[in-house]
C-alpha cells in the first residue's frame, strides 16, 4: 500500500511539472479580432543616415519587438528573398517602383511596414559630442493602400567635457517627400522635434571613455547608438497599438 501511494505521488508530481508546458501561451493580438491586417512584412528601410549598416540593425530591432505582440510577421530573410528575386528590390529607395497592393500580393501579406532612417549619427565638434537617432515607421494596408498606423521619433543626446553640450532649437530638419512617403512629417508624427535623452554614467565598454578632468567624452571608442535606438523604440512602441488597447488572449499550441 505504501509503495502504491508513493508511485501515485510521483505520478502526480510529474503531471504538475508538465502542466506549464501544456498550458496556453499568452500572447497579445490586435484588440479588434476583425482587424484586416494580420500578416505583415517589414520592408527594407530607406536610409538617409551616413551609416550604411544601420538600416539592417534598426530594421532587425523593429522586427524583434513587433513579432512578439500584434501581428503575424514574415521573417526578414523571406521578405528580402521574395523582394529580390521577384521584384528586384533590395533597398528602401527602390520602393517607389511598386505599389502597396503589388507588394502585398507578391509577399502574401495584408500590410507592409515602411521604415525611414533619417538620422543615425554621432557628431564630434571640438569637445562636444552629439548623438542623433530619428526613425519613422508606417503600416500600410496592402488591400486599400491606406495608412493604418504611422509614428516617428527623434532622439538626441549631447555632451561635452564641461557637462551637457549647449543645444539650440529642438526643432528637427523638415523632411520632404521620400520613396514610399509623400508627406513624412504628417504620415509619421513625431519627426519634427527632438526628444532629449538623459546622460547617465557609463564605462568605457559602453562606448565612452574618461576624458580630461574625469569627464565623459563620447565617440572616442565609437558609439554604436544602441542606447539611443532602444530609447527611441520604447517611445515609438508605446503607440503601436491598432486600437484603444492590446488584448491578451490565450492561444493553445
Where residue 219 falls (left for φ over 0; alpha for ψ -120 to 50; beta otherwise) is left
Select the more confidently predicted residue: 61 or 197: 61
Q: At what angle do helices 226-237 and 54-66 cross, to 10 degrees?
A: 40
Task: Please give the pLDDT value at position 167.
Answer: 58
Cβ–Cβ < 8 Å for 97, 83: no
Looking at per-residue pLDDT, the higher value among 65 and 241 belongs to 65
**Cα–Cα separations (whole angstroms), residue 240 to 41, 73, 89, 137, 139:** 15, 14, 27, 10, 10
Query: Could you give the dihedral angle defined by the CA atoms of residues 19, 245, 78 and 51, in that order, rounded to the nearest 10 degrees?
Result: -120
For 148-174, write each residue's pLDDT tens digit: 999 999 999 988 765 555 556 789 999
Calculate the average pLDDT of the chain: 76
CA distance 133 to 232: 7
Contact 128, 55 (CB under 8 A): no
* Per-residue pLDDT at 188: 95
- The average pLDDT across 184-210 equals 69
Q: H helices within 85-202, ranges in order?
A: 100-107, 184-187
**Mean pLDDT across 92-104:** 91
Contact 137, 236 (CB under 8 A): yes
DSSP 8-state assignment for residue 74: P
pLDDT at 156: 93
Longest dimension (CA), the chain: 84
**Residue ranges of domains in the chain, CATH in brackets:** 28-242 (3.40.50.10610)
Q: Give the CA distances from residue 68 to residues 107, 236, 239, in Å, rounded to whole numbers and listed in that order.
A: 20, 15, 15
Q: How many CB atoms lie within 10 A of CB 226?
A: 13
- Return phi, psi of residue 226, to 5°: -65, -45
Do residues 128 and 91 lie in contact, with contact meaning Cβ atoms separated by under 8 Å? Answer: no
Judged by DSSP in three states, 97 sits in helix
Distance between CA atoms of 240 and 29, rounded to whole angstroms? 12
What is the rounded CA–CA span in Å between residue 111 and residue 71?
10
pLDDT, tens only, 216-250: 333 333 457 999 999 999 998 876 654 433 433 33
Amino acid at each position: 500500500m505504501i509503495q502504491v501511494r508513493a508511485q501515485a505521488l510521483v505520478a502526480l508530481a510529474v503531471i504538475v511539472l508538465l502542466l506549464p508546458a501544456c498550458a496556453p501561451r499568452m500572447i497579445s493580438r490586435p484588440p479588434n479580432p476583425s482587424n484586416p491586417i494580420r500578416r505583415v512584412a517589414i520592408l527594407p528601410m530607406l536610409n538617409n543616415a551616413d551609416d550604411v549598416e544601420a538600416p539592417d540593425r534598426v530594421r532587425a530591432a523593429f522586427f524583434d519587438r513587433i513579432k512578439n505582440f500584434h501581428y503575424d510577421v514574415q521573417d526578414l530573410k523571406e521578405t528580402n528573398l521574395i523582394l529580390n528575386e521577384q521584384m528586384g528590390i533590395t533597398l528602401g529607395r527602390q520602393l517607389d517602383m511598386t505599389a502597396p497592393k503589388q507588394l502585398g500580393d507578391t509577399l502574401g501579406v495584408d500590410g507592409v511596414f515602411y521604415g525611414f532612417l533619417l538620422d543615425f549619427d554621432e557628431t564630434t565638434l571640438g569637445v562636444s559630442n552629439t548623438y542623433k537617432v530619428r526613425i519613422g515607421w508606417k503600416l500600410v494596408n496592402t488591400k486599400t493602400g491606406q495608412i493604418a498606423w504611422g509614428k516617428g521619433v527623434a532622439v538626441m543626446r549631447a555632451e561635452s567635457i564641461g557637462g551637457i553640450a549647449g543645444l539650440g532649437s529642438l526643432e528637427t530638419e523638415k523632411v520632404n517627400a521620400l520613396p514610399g512617403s509623400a508627406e513624412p512629417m504628417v504620415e509619421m508624427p513625431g519627426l519634427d522635434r527632438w526628444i532629449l535623452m538623459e546622460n547617465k554614467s557609463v564605462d568605457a565598454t559602453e562606448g565612452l571613455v574618461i576624458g580630461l578632468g574625469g569627464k565623459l567624452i563620447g565617440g572616442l571608442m565609437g558609439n554604436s547608438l544602441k542606447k539611443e535606438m532602444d530609447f527611441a523604440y520604447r517611445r515609438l512602441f508605446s503607440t503601436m497599438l491598432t486600437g484603444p488597447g492590446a488584448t491578451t488572449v490565450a492561444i493553445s499550441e
